[in-house]
Structure 1
Amino acid sequence: MGSSRMRMILMAFLLCRTILAEDPYLYFDWKVTYGTISPLGVPQQGILINGQFPGPIINCTSNNNIVINVFNQLDEPFLLTWAGIQHRKNSWMDGTLGTMCPILPGKNFTYKLQVKDQIGSFFYFPTTALHRAAGGMGMIQVQSRELIPIPYDRPAGEFAVLLGDWYNKGHKTLKKTLDSGHTIGLPDGIHINGKSGKVGDNAAEPLATMEPGKTYRYRFCNVGLRVSVNFRLQGHTMKLVEIEGSHTVQNAYDSLDLHVGQCLAVLVTANQEPKDYYFVVSSRFSKKQITSVAIIRYANGKGPASSELPPPPPQHVAGIAWSVNQFRSFRWNLTSNAARPNPQGSYNYGKINITRTIRLANFHGTHEGKLRFGINGVSHQNPATPLKIAEYFGKPELAFINYNLLKDEPPKEMSSSIVTGSVVVNATFRNFVEIIFENQEKTIQTWHLDGHSFFAVAIEYGKWTPEKRKNYNLLDAVSRHTIQVYPNSWAAVLTTLDNAGMWNLRSEMAERAYLGQQLYFSVLSPGRSTRDEYNIPLITNSVVFFWIPQVSTAQSPPYA
């Protein structure tokens, strides 16, 4: 009897340990330095992480805790953000200038993240100055837990591919150009994992090597500054399986558009003659088309890649229609699991009542004779005190926060003279919100929302009206965190603002975000409960996390 009782106590103890056990931790030490890189064959100063460009791949599993100690060995402040990682209850670690102070030269900071209930393809990149133009970015691969099956056979391997436009001018030169009130213009080329290949260079190191007959997963992210791209693999089709953390209906494509800041994953089967093939990336919707290639090699294959490249999709008006139709073909896989056992389609977002509609129109103009970009007539400026910290201490005036500066709809006539300020929009916790992105400019836009995913329910040409809601996809729109908006068009997304914190909504075009095309949503928990949002971390390592509030009338750079 005593032995039986002891066994019961031991089993209860082990059960409690199992229930209370934390999810696994992954630890990283990163040194951020300058180094010489040549993405387009021209040597220039780049930003390396542990001596690498692109930076180290974070390969983790859903619900893992990730601890990254970042040492800033540059000569200027530095921050990293984690595009698409939702930081549940923890905008303190979001890595934007509205939520935290940058890491000063010679200092370090430890990011503590959790990929809570997430799977999929994401990336990290710098948010300070114009550091994104110099590197400092890498892939984040969030795998499914062993107990949660993925909706396709496990691939034989996977390849992480960062691609995007590139400028031969250094990041400091580009920043000076923007600060002087001018645009940085068109890029010089396209890189694929930090390199730019040419047809005929068959001695180049392959981007990937595949065994004949096997299927591989490729993860792609457009980490460029302004240009949408299209990619295709010579002689092969690509089966789309994931977009920004959501399993998709598995359609096959000959080529795919990928807009700035977006990520997706495809399956490729090595079912062709064993030889080399070109992976081709070309620009979309830009005045001049630029192209780069890389080699995909079959193991033990014989023969170089054919110089006849697969053609790009149509450009200009026909190209926009082609791209919109491709967007509409992307569908959420309602029967598959995501990061949890329940099917993705169990969340019936189309049956939820919209509580607020916010219409956001991008535009450009001048302020004090210099180029600025904005939203609804307002251009965001980062104050000396991070917005989140000023709000936390109940001193919004320290960060010049005016919650009424930006209205929920654009003015009827957009003035070319821009109002500047700290753009913060008050949001009600757990409200279901409709956001309309309106683009009456001649260039394509891409938008990203930190801390949340949204349902991309519609993209259409022309102007949005309430009657357009009848065209929304309210069944299986993909849950994602970026959305493109074509020239003279609009896009609609639906989201539940259920993640308390201060969250950045920005243009993914680095030039536009730097010059003010962004805002912050303040999502406050009722009663400021720590069940909904973590408390402020006061000191981490040698870096004081918060800025001691001092009233100032100057809008100086946000240095802690």
Structure 2
Amino acid sequence: MSRAGVALVLLLSVLGLAAVTAEDPYLFFEWNITYGTISPIGVPQRVILINGQFPGPDINATSNNNVIVNVFNFLDEPFLISWNGVQQRKNSWQDGMAGTNCPILPGQNFTYKFQVKDQIGSFYYFPSLRMHKAAGGYGGLRIHSRLLIPVPFDPPADDYTVMVGDWYNKDHAVLAKILDKGRSIGIPAGILINGKPGKDNDEDPQFVMEAGKVYRYRICNVGIKSSVNFRIQGHSMKLVEMDGSHTVQNLYDSLDVHVGQCYSVLVTADQAPGDYYIVASSRFIKKKELVATAVIRYAGSNTPPSAVLPRAPAGWAWSFNQWRSFRWNLTASAARPNPQGSYHYGNINITRTIKLVSSRVSVDGKTRYALNGVSHVDTETPLKLVEYFGIADKFFNYSIIGDEPTPETPMTIAPNVLNVEFRTYVEIILENPEKSVQAYHLNGYSFFLVGMGPGKWTPESRKTYNSLDAVSRHAVHVFPKSWSAIMLTFDNAGMWNLRSELWERRYLGQQLYISVVSPARSLRDEYNLPETAMLCGSVVGTPKPTPYT
């Protein structure tokens, strides 16, 4: 069908459905995914563009909006987009991961349809296959509160998206070949702020502020390896939101933003009119500090910024202490993810504790990464599809890892799928025995990051948990030779990816999927396979199961 035909059929079907059910408002987007040649750090290279843009366009949504994104793949390879932090309630069919969706093949299109329900805050989207994230294809995704639900601060004069992250000067396909040979991709070549490295006194301003007014900056680390310290020359930042949750509004001179995390800060234009640098620099890279800058200009200013950049803190202990200062704003009247645990999560009985320990090993001379001794590989047919069609046993075994590692077991390379009982309250321990900071993300959920500590986790570690006002979020970091603990209710049926956000580790197996199945097989708990879903592999031509009712 032509592009015009696809758009017409989609519009008519959506409008007809909306007329019958009086659904919430719809937002429509059409994205063309292409390659382009630009020079983010002075070296011409191939990047992934969305409608010709790098980074891609922002999605501005309001809680409960229905978002329709029609993606046309003009690359020469399969492509998918995932929605970092957006809880696809009952709808892992739209998650855009290799374990849930067939890829959009070259020359084809797919329409994502999802609702941004019961969420507010700052998120982003990114390409999820292969090493595409190292080539761009990402952008900001904002979810605003509805007008009837107040937020705990006055509307800012303007609202800015700040995509920060590391960047490599090698093509994404070259990076993949390096990893396929079992070698590391090494340290990044630079840091970017909204696709630019900055550093020149005569660079054009990316942001403009008027003296005396307050502005919101939504900062997301969209990199693939490096934690970043973010600061603004001469200005304090008031933290107001983190990964979709309003926070206690503390002031910070700088913030460590780990890979996959998003923060919102309010900045008051209270300095002498002039230009000021935003600074984003790498953290925990021993060989050198990578630095990017962007200019904030006070309206009407012709005074260049000072060449003296504010310095980043040293050591991970500083970052740990900063994490301890983060608290959830329990009085904010906004959408709250995971409502079962929103006010009393510390008093809910834990039904299961899962300890996941990362490891790095060499298999046949090639590096692999694992969780509890299993290094994940994707199946030809997505895990969610073979589970839905009742043929999962032909492709994988559930829970081949235990709820804690068994060190004597040799590493296995296989699809790694954990079974978790629907609506159970689970504690997950992420343990990092290595010397570098790690970062993880769980699709489909927010969780309570209740504790961190050095060494190995033991049940005694629970005495150090924050059981009152830990921030509900979707991303977690784990410091070197340390552990982090999260808690959540698995009330969102589907197949959900838990992965390392360090893409080198994720590419080489440090990820798994969590299968949450509702025994009722009811539309109350999970949507049916969409009629427009892409089918591939072993389910092509297979009769569809009886729909949920």
Instruction: Name the TM-score, length of structure 1 as normaliser.
Output: 0.91
Query: Which among 413, 417, 433 is matched to residue 440 of structure 1?
Result: 433
The answer (yes or no) to whether the contact 1:336–1:344 under 8 Å persists in 2 is no
**What is the letter of the counterpart of residue 411 of structure 1?**
T
Query: Which among 486, 489, 495 is matched to residue 488 of structure 2?
Result: 495
Give per-residue Cα distances to partners, 1:192-234, cap 9 Å, x unaligned: 1000011xx2321212000110000000000001000101000
User: How much does 1:497 deviate?
Assistant: 0.4
Change (3 A) 1:341 1:18: farther
- Matched residues in 1 for 2:207 and 2:521: separation? 49
- Matched residues in 1 for 2:102 and 2:339: separation? 39
User: How much does 1:451 deviate?
Assistant: 0.2
What residue number does 1:79 align with? Answer: 80
The answer (yes or no) to whether the contact 1:458–1:472 under 8 Å persists in 2 is yes
| 1:251 matches 2:250 | yes
Query: Which among 396, 401, 404 is matched to residue 401 of structure 1?
Result: 396
Give per-residue Cα distances to partners, 1:150-192, cap 9 Å, x unaligned: 1011101111010110000010100110111111111001011
Give per-residue Cα distances to partners, 1:460-498, cap 9 Å, x unaligned: 111100011011000000000000000000000000000
What residue number does 1:134 align with? Answer: 135
Shifted more, 319-328 versus 340-349: the winner is 340-349
Q: Percent of pairs identical after alignment? A: 62
What residue number does 2:544 align with? Answer: none
**What is the letter of the counterpart of residue 527 of structure 1?**
A
The answer (yes or no) to whether the contact 2:377–2:509 under 8 Å persists in 1 is yes
What residue number does 1:475 align with? Answer: 468
- Matched residues in 1 for 2:338 and 2:422: separation? 24
User: How much does 1:413 deviate?
Assistant: 4.9
Write out aligned runs for 1:46-125 (5 A): 46-125=47-126
The answer (yes or no) to whether the contact 1:338–1:344 under 8 Å persists in 2 is no
**What is the letter of the counterpart of residue 443 of structure 1?**
S
**What is the letter of the counterpart of residue 295 of structure 1?**
V
The answer (yes or no) to whether the contact 1:145–1:339 under 8 Å persists in 2 is no
Give per-residue Cα distances to partners, 1:55-109, cap 9 Å, x unaligned: 0100010010000000000000000000000010000100000011110000000
The answer (yes or no) to whether the contact 2:338–2:489 under 8 Å persists in 1 is no
What residue number does 1:145 align with? Answer: 146
Report how many residues are paired: 523
Change (3 A) 1:550 1:297: closer
The answer (yes or no) to whether the contact 1:222–1:261 under 8 Å persists in 2 is yes
The answer (yes or no) to whether the contact 1:230–1:312 under 8 Å persists in 2 is yes
What residue number does 2:316 align with? Answer: 320
- Matched residues in 2 for 1:214 and 1:129: separation? 43
What residue number does 1:227 align with? Answer: 226
Change (3 A) 1:83 1:444: same
- Matched residues in 1 for 2:485 and 2:389: separation? 35
Q: 1:469 aligns to what SS in structure 2?
A: helix
- Matched residues in 1 for 2:526 and 2:508: separation? 30
**What is the letter of the counterpart of residue 60 of structure 2?**
N
What residue number does 1:356 align with? Answer: 352
**What is the letter of the counterpart of residue 187 of structure 1?**
P
Change (3 A) 1:342 1:487: closer
Q: 2:324 aligns to what SS in structure 1?
A: helix
**What is the letter of the counterpart of residue 297 of structure 1?**
R
Q: 1:195 aligns to what SS in structure 2?
A: coil
Shifted more, 367-376 versus 423-432: the winner is 367-376
What residue number does 2:364 align with? Answer: 368
What residue number does 1:334 align with? Answer: 330
What residue number does 1:516 align with? Answer: 509
**Long gaps (5+) in structure 1:** 1-16, 552-560
**What is the letter of the counterpart of residue 299 of structure 1?**
A
User: How much does 1:546 deviate?
Assistant: 4.7
- Matched residues in 1 for 2:408 and 2:430: separation? 17
What residue number does 1:7 align with? Answer: none
The answer (yes or no) to whether the contact 2:78–2:104 under 8 Å persists in 1 is yes
User: How much does 1:356 deviate?
Assistant: 0.3
| 1:293 matches 2:290 | no
User: How much does 1:527 deviate?
Assistant: 2.3
What residue number does 1:533 align with? Answer: 526
**What is the letter of the counterpart of residue 122 of structure 2?**
S
- Matched residues in 1 for 2:482 and 2:389: separation? 41
- Matched residues in 1 for 2:79 and 2:233: separation? 39
What residue number does 1:545 align with? Answer: 535
- Matched residues in 1 for 2:531 and 2:535: separation? 6
Change (3 A) 1:340 1:248: closer
Shifted more, 297-306 versus 373-382: the winner is 297-306
The answer (yes or no) to whether the contact 2:229–2:254 under 8 Å persists in 1 is yes
| 1:27 matches 2:28 | yes
| 1:213 matches 2:225 | no
Q: 1:92 aligns to what SS in structure 2?
A: helix
The answer (yes or no) to whether the contact 1:25–1:64 under 8 Å persists in 2 is yes
User: How much does 1:370 deviate?
Assistant: 1.4
The answer (yes or no) to whether the contact 1:334–1:343 under 8 Å persists in 2 is no
User: How much does 1:369 deviate?
Assistant: 2.5
- Matched residues in 2 for 1:232 and 1:310: separation? 8
User: How much does 1:386 deviate?
Assistant: 0.5
What residue number does 1:260 align with? Answer: 259
**Long gaps (5+) in structure 2:** 1-17, 542-549
What residue number does 1:308 align with? Answer: 308
Structure label with greater radius of gyration: 1
User: How much does 1:366 deviate?
Assistant: 2.0
Aligned alpha-carbon RMSD (Å): 1.9
Change (3 A) 1:396 1:28: same
Change (3 A) 1:344 1:395: closer
What residue number does 1:463 align with? Answer: 456
Q: 1:526 aligns to what SS in structure 2?
A: coil
**What is the letter of the counterpart of residue 435 of structure 1?**
I
After superposing on structure 2, the runs of 4+ consecutive aligned residues of structure 1 that deviate more than 6 Å are 340-345
Q: 2:174 aligns to what SS in structure 1?
A: helix
- Matched residues in 1 for 2:56 and 2:469: separation? 34
